Structure 1
Amino acid sequence: MTSAIRMGVLALLWGSGFLWIKISLNEGLTPGWITFVRCLLGAAVLLALAFGAGQRLPRDRATWGRLAVAAFFCNALPFLLFSIGEQTVDSGVAGVLNATTPLWALLIGLALGSERPLSVPRLAGLGLGFAGVLLIFAPWSHGSGLMSWGALALLGASASYAVAFAYMARHLTGRGTAPLALSAAQLTTATGLSTPALAAGGAATVTWAGVLAVVVLGVFATGLTFHLNYRMIAEEGPTAAATVGYLLPVVSVTLGAVVLGEPLTARVVAGMAVVLVGVGLTRSNRTPPAGTEPRPVAPPSARDRLGTP
């Protein structure tokens, strides 16, 4: 598989996750069930791949304790928040908001002292990124605003990713556990953590379309993408893998418009462009302190790129 084809497959799988969430919701599945089944199927895929590769899960209690924290902020919580947010927000817009993860990561890094003082381009990028979010939701217009519960849930999911990546970079990476096994253990833990969410939101309606959507979400857009991501990092390096992230909002917006008929207004397109330019500027001349660069042990966003739902 050539680099361009692999990049296209990864972008399509990751970016389509927002579409599958929306279809699952439209078919009557609750956010709690979507989160649980997604984690369960993704964990099953990764466990099979890890065992097939001869990688063993961690055995010490301390690692599992750290995995519980990472699984909550990187999987159980953001997966649930994205499903809640997409109840009222289009899937394409959800994909664009997921692109704000590096902006939240930058703010967290500044607060923790792990980021160097902002240069002019990175400061401009930070401002542009959040200006793009404002442009998308247009809080000055009637009937839509940044303070809607759906929008806040989506922004909270992106911020949760950023918290998780900072934690994993400090406490999970480079400690001797094979990355594929570590990710399998993390999603397995997330499955357990997402179980209480099944009781929230009432009973779910089961349809063939809803089941198919959540299966594709769990197997392909969650589990399989982890494995393909590791292959790209190993064979082409983190820079090539990071480039895929910039295609995710484009994929989510396009699929939302084509498959679900979501409105693709000039304001949303402009906001998406502003967000991506802002994120690009925040990544310019970035020299992280030694020991803070995440290694490939987490979902795609942990590798210095935009997030995954």
Structure 2
Amino acid sequence: MTTVTTAGTAAPAPVRRPALDWRLRFGALSLIWGFSFLLIKVGTDGYAPFQVTLGRLVFGTAVLALAMAVKRARLPRGLRTWGHLAVAAFLLNALPFSLFAYSELTIPSTLAGICNATSPLWGMALSLVALSEDRPSRVRVAGLGIGFLGVLTVLGAWQGFHGLDGRGTAMALLASLSYPVGWIYVRRTLAGSGYSHLSLTGAQLLLATVQLAVVTPLFTSFPGRVAVVPLLAVAALGALGTGLAVLIQYGLVAEVGPTTAQMVTYFIPIIATGAGVAILGESLSWSTPVGAVIVLAGAALTQVRGKGRAR
């Protein structure tokens, strides 16, 4: 998920071109994040949602800590910076990860993956209000309308949302909204901080882990037994979907730019849907894939910028 980075907060340092072609890494990132929703579903079969999120953050932070040790990157300094990172950790990690975990108790992983694709729509709507430099165009406004029409199609609005768990769906949509809120906050508070992307993200995940470590014991009890398969799913979700994915995305942004790297968002719901149907046996009505296509089309249009305003 395109959710765990503070990309754009500092200009990446020049890096050597990796041996593995960026297209292969782009495909790997799409698969990792696409399968994340399946792993969440499997993890919640054996553990409480907060426990799944805490485990995910622990394994993800461990991968980032290892990468920082290898590259000899240091954690940021200053209470002000850490305060902003604590808010970013809540908005970009602790809150959305927990909401997705809770949502998949009652909704299929396919629907959660499609809800995640609404994040660019929320981001465009919020940027019009919060970021004065983002001026709306007819194409982008049309994309916003088309995207939310796709959401209504996925949810079956013409049937009165019959058979849909409203609470779980609302949690997944709120999780998707939390990401652009966090991105805007980071852009306003941490842009140009001078710290590397790796240092900021490592500190961010560390703070999110601390937040969940405090919350989880208050709302859950220690599991009576160790569910092996769900535990493996949580480990993969953290190590791959949170830790390794951040490193891959960072490399893509440094090599091909953020515009190309963020296109991974449009492949996530396709992979999440395929994984949920093929592996978990989740049902799929015609409105789900049709609505997902409309959502992705609208999200793509919201990213269109005039040549003079492209960054």
Q: Tell me the TM-score normalized by structure 1.
A: 0.88
Aligned partners of 1:110 and 1:276: how far apart in 2?
20
Residue in 2 aligned with 1:12?
Answer: 31
Residue in 1 aligned with 2:137?
Answer: 119
Aligned pair count reads: 289
Paired residues for 1:81-120 under 5 Å = 81-120=99-138
CA shift in 2, pair 1:96/1:288, >3 Å: farther
Q: Is the 8 A contact 2:155 2:161 kept in 1?
A: no
Is the counterpart of residue 243 in structure 1 residue 295 in structure 2?
Answer: no
Q: Deviations over 1:205-248 (max 9, x none)?
A: 53110110000000001000011111111122223212222111
Query: CA offset at residue 288 of structure 1?
Result: 10
Query: CA offset at residue 149 of structure 1?
Result: 0.6
Q: Which residue, out of 192, 210, 221, partners 1:174? A: 192
Aligned partners of 1:286 and 1:14: how far apart in 2?
30
Give the aligned residue type for 1:251: I
Residue in 1 aligned with 2:83?
Answer: 65
Q: Is the 8 A contact 1:115 1:289 kept in 2?
A: no
Query: CA offset at residue 161 of structure 1?
Result: 0.6
Query: CA offset at residue 252 of structure 1?
Result: 0.5
**Where in structure 1 do 4 or more consecutive aligned residues deviate above 6 Å?**
287-290
Listed as ranges, the gaps of 5+ residues in structure 2 are 1-19
Give the aligned residue type for 2:280: L
Query: CA offset at residue 202 of structure 1?
Result: 4.9
Aligned partners of 1:178 and 1:88: how far apart in 2?
39
Residue in 2 aligned with 1:150?
Answer: 168
Residue in 2 aligned with 1:74?
Answer: 92
Paired residues for 1:1-309 under 5 Å = 1-26=20-45, 28-139=46-157, 140-141=159-160, 143-145=162-164, 148-195=166-213, 196-204=215-223, 206-285=226-305
Listed as ranges, the gaps of 5+ residues in structure 1 are 294-309
Give the aligned residue type for 1:70: A
Query: Secondary structure at the residue paired with 1:58?
Result: coil
Q: Deviations over 1:127-183 (max 9, x none)?
A: 1111111111114346434x7110110011011111100001111132111110110
Query: Secondary structure at the residue paired with 2:105?
Result: coil
Of residues 201-210 and 223-232 in structure 1, the stretch that sits farther from structure 2 once superposed is 201-210
Aligned partners of 2:144 and 2:33: how far apart in 1?
24
Q: Tell me the TM-score normalized by structure 2.
A: 0.88
Q: Deviations over 1:59-117 (max 9, x none)?
A: 21111101110000110000000001111111111111101111111121122243544
Give the aligned residue type for 2:39: W
Give the aligned residue type for 1:112: A
Aligned partners of 2:184 and 2:209: how far apart in 1?
21
Aligned partners of 2:266 and 2:246: how far apart in 1?
17
Q: Is the 8 A contact 1:37 1:214 kept in 2?
A: yes
CA shift in 2, pair 1:31/1:197, >3 Å: same
Q: Deviations over 1:227-276 (max 9, x none)?
A: 11111111222232122221111111111111101112211000100000
